[in-house]
Amino acid sequence: MADDDFEGPRLRRFRVDVGTIICAVALVQSLLLVAFGYWAAEKLVSRVGTAAHKINHDRVEDNVLAFLAKTEGVIRSIADSPSVHATGEDGEQTAEMLWTMLEQTPELDSINVATDDGHVLMAVRYPVPAIRQVLRGPEFSTETWQYKSSPDLDGGDAKQRFATTAISAYRSDFDPEKRTWYLEAMKAKGPVWTEPFLMSDAQELAIGHARPSGRVDDEGHRRGLVVDGNVSLGHLSRLVRIFGALGSGESALLSSDHHVVARSDHPEPVRELESPDTGVLGAIHSHMLATSTAGGADDLAFSIEHEGRRYLVQTSHIPHTRWQLVSWEPEEQLLGGLHRSVLWSLLLTVSFLGLALFISLRLSKLVTGPIENLSRVARRIGRLELDNLPIEPSRVLEIQHLNQALDESARSLKAFSKFVPVDIIRQLVAEGHALGPSGSPRRITAMFTDVEGFTTISESMPADVLVRQLTEYFSLAAGIFARHGGVIDKFMGDGIMVLWGAPTELDEPEYRACLAALELHAEMNALNDKWRSEGLPEFRTRVGIHTGHVIAGVLGSSDRLSYTAIGDAINAASRIEGANKELGTRTLISEATFEGLGGRLATRRIEELAELRGRQTRMVLYELLQVEHQPG
């Protein structure tokens, strides 16, 4: 391509100006801003959803705390009453007070008073409304039930509501000192919310708030009693179900030992202690166990995936009870509308930018496409793959200039590569060798080849025919050596110097070199047949191979370099090749090379120590034999 090719008016009309590029950059910036805005909107929606869910959770928590506070207030009021007792006249007054408190506290299933001498007085709502009194004797207890009308009835005279409808009495083995609420209160020596226990009268799981209280009797003795209010887990589940209805999600109370105390997501109340192992609550509990937050005192907010749906979760610790309140709500139910609004806004914004993006992309193709193709061309030039490089036409003037520069570089390198071993350059660059004078010791296998009688052949042939034959011969040999890992160091007239193990180390270089020699002889037989049919002289190749240590590297002057190997092993290989003439052989190898073969190829030991020209010591040589089906 000439410079004149870039000066025509036709190409000038299609130049891409800076304004187009700036427009494309501005469009990208707009898309980034849209993406950031969408991300920020999604974050805001997520925060709104978390806040809304926390409000619902806080409603449930406030109702739970209100229920607990009301129960604690009732029990505290009874415990602080100076006339509370389980027997005698005080017992009758206490029964009236307990019944009145039970009427005013529909959340409670029973209110109990137990003294330290084993007497108990109870106001019971469930399984039947009654005043239950247990008087403990030395051998047995006497239990009396005074059945009442339901404490949940409204209206009527208070005395009539307290009136006894039936009485039953019997012996009993009831012992308050074995009751969970009594034991935990006495152990705590203060107010306590109990772990779930089995109510003796209703045979149902319940939790209770118990408070110990001490006082002095008429005889001046210090007496202790425990006041307790119980609520069944079934009743508590109904309460939590009501609390959960305040929001759009579900709630559950978990005890300190990870059992379900109450839950709103099941239609049936809790009748027995169970671990939250199934459903959404099971997934939440598994997550909290994995993160060591189950039963913790910290309030948490997180989200989980369960059966393809995402849930927002809030947890909080209920003071004094060691319970954990867990609330969850489907994110789609809470935030689905907001998410869809944000998505529609994004789609509208992207639609407005779509046309501009299309135009910008079309314009950018005028630059990016050719540059990408030229970069691939440049990479091929860097790898010295110089054949059949494509030409990239473009309407952009600067790209045309770049295309011309790469084309000129490729043509220059292609001409230069005819004089330099390209394989060596590739390996040196791949291994990171500096292209300056350097060398390092290596153990290699060197091969020298020579054409027998080449001087006589060259004197009897026209130069152009000789050059053609040499080119065919060298091309054949170079291909064979490359297949077996050999690197041609140089061509020397009709001879070739080949290295195995430099510049890249090889496994079994002796074996590879000998295989290459055998294949060269076999291929030369076919080539000689072809030349013979054309009336051309045959080439009989002689080969010498030796293995030893050399100095290999980039050697030469500061401005003229060559990759080669020097050392006694190189000289020995050259002399071994020359010994073929005196011994009448075609391929000779040294003893060091023979040892590297490990007996895998057929050889013949030369019985007499060979005297090599230019060397004082004789060497043991072996002839490499050409046999059929040689192992490859």
- Which CATH number do you get for residue 503? 3.30.70.1230
- Strands 323-330 and 440-451 come out as unpaired
- Does residue 560 lie in a domain region? yes
Closest CA to 508 of 593, 627, 387, 578: 593
Is pLDDT at 484 greater than 80 in this prediction?
Answer: yes
Per-residue pLDDT tens for 185-216? 888 888 888 888 777 666 677 888 888 887 76
Please indicate, yes or no, whether residues 460 and 508 belong to a single structural domain of this protein: yes
Please indicate, yes or no, whether residues 395 and 520 belong to a single structural domain of this protein: no
**468 contact partners, CB below 8 Å, separation of at least 6:** none
Is pLDDT at 133 greater than 80 in this prediction?
Answer: yes
What is the residue-averaged pLDDT of the chain?
78
Cross-strand pairs, 549: 443
Please indicate, yes or no, whether residues 318 and 187 belong to a single structural domain of this protein: yes
Residue with more model confidence, 629 or 88: 88
Helix (H) or strand (E) holding 151: none
- Does residue 16 lie in a domain region? no
Please indicate, yes or no, whether residues 476 and 406 belong to a single structural domain of this protein: no
Lowest model confidence (mean pLDDT) among 9-23, 106-120, 345-359: 9-23
| pLDDT for res 301 | 83
Per-residue pLDDT tens for 278-337? 788 888 888 888 888 777 777 888 888 888 888 888 888 877 777 888 888 887 766 666
Per-residue pLDDT tens for 581-625? 888 899 999 888 999 998 889 999 987 776 777 666 778 899 999
State the pLDDT confidence band at 432, using cuts at 50, 70 and 90. low
Counting beta carbons within 10 angstroms of the beta carbon of residue 338, is it exposed (0 to 12), middle (13 to 18) or buried (19 or more)? middle
Which one of 331, 358, 376 terminates a domain?
Answer: 331
Cross-strand pairs, 252: 263, 326
- Does residue 423 lie in a domain region? no
Is pLDDT at 457 greater than 90 in this prediction?
Answer: no
Tokens of 388: 């059949």
- Does residue 510 lie in a domain region? yes
Per-residue pLDDT tens for 384-424? 666 667 776 766 677 777 777 767 676 666 655 555 556 66
Which one of 417, 442, 472 terminates a domain?
Answer: 417
Is pLDDT at 18 greater than 60 in this prediction?
Answer: no
- Which CATH number do you get for residue 225? 3.30.450.20
Please indicate, yes or no, whether residues 83 and 231 belong to a single structural domain of this protein: yes
Please indicate, yes or no, whether residues 171 and 196 belong to a single structural domain of this protein: yes
Round to whole Å and give the CA distance between 448 and 300: 81
Relative orientation angle of helices 331-382 and 397-417, to the nearest 10 degrees: 50
Lowest model confidence (mean pLDDT) among 364-373, 469-478, 541-550: 364-373
Contact yes or no for 247/327 (Cβ under 8 A): yes
Round to whole Å and give the CA distance between 411 and 404: 11
Which one of 316, 331, 346 terminates a domain?
Answer: 331
Is pLDDT at 508 greater than 70 in this prediction?
Answer: yes
Please indicate, yes or no, whether residues 470 and 595 belong to a single structural domain of this protein: yes
- Does residue 48 lie in a domain region? no
State the DSSP string of 499-561.
EESSSS--SSHHHHHHHHHHHHHHHHHHHHHHHHHTTPPP--EEEEEEEEEEEEEEEE-SS-E
| pLDDT for res 169 | 86
Per-residue pLDDT tens for 60-119? 778 778 888 888 888 888 888 887 887 777 778 888 888 888 888 888 888 888 888 888
Is pLDDT at 228 greater than 70 in this prediction?
Answer: yes
Model pTM above 0.75:
no
- Does residue 345 lie in a domain region? no
Ranges 5-14, 154-163, 545-554, most confident: 545-554
Please indicate, yes or no, whether residues 303 and 391 belong to a single structural domain of this protein: no
| pLDDT for res 456 | 85
Residue with more model confidence, 472 or 268: 472
State the DSSP string of 480-497.
HHHHTT-EEEEEETTEEE
Is pLDDT at 632 greater than 90 in this prediction?
Answer: no
- Does residue 32 lie in a domain region? no
Relative orientation angle of helices 88-104 and 18-80, to the nearest 10 degrees: 150
Please indicate, yes or no, whether residues 267 and 392 belong to a single structural domain of this protein: no
- DSSP strands (E only) in 128-267: 130-136, 141-147, 166-172, 192-193, 197-198, 205-216, 222-232, 250-254, 260-263
- Does residue 26 lie in a domain region? no
| pLDDT for res 342 | 67
Please indicate, yes or no, whether residues 138 and 281 belong to a single structural domain of this protein: yes
Ranges 47-61, 163-177, 426-440, 575-589, most confident: 575-589
Domain containing 601 equals: 432-624
Please indicate, yes or no, whether residues 411 and 512 belong to a single structural domain of this protein: no
Task: Output the CA torsion sign for 404, 409, 414, 416.
Answer: positive
Q: What integer is the mean pLDDT of 4-21?
A: 47
Please indicate, yes or no, whether residues 457 and 538 belong to a single structural domain of this protein: yes
Please tell me the total count of domains within the chain: 3
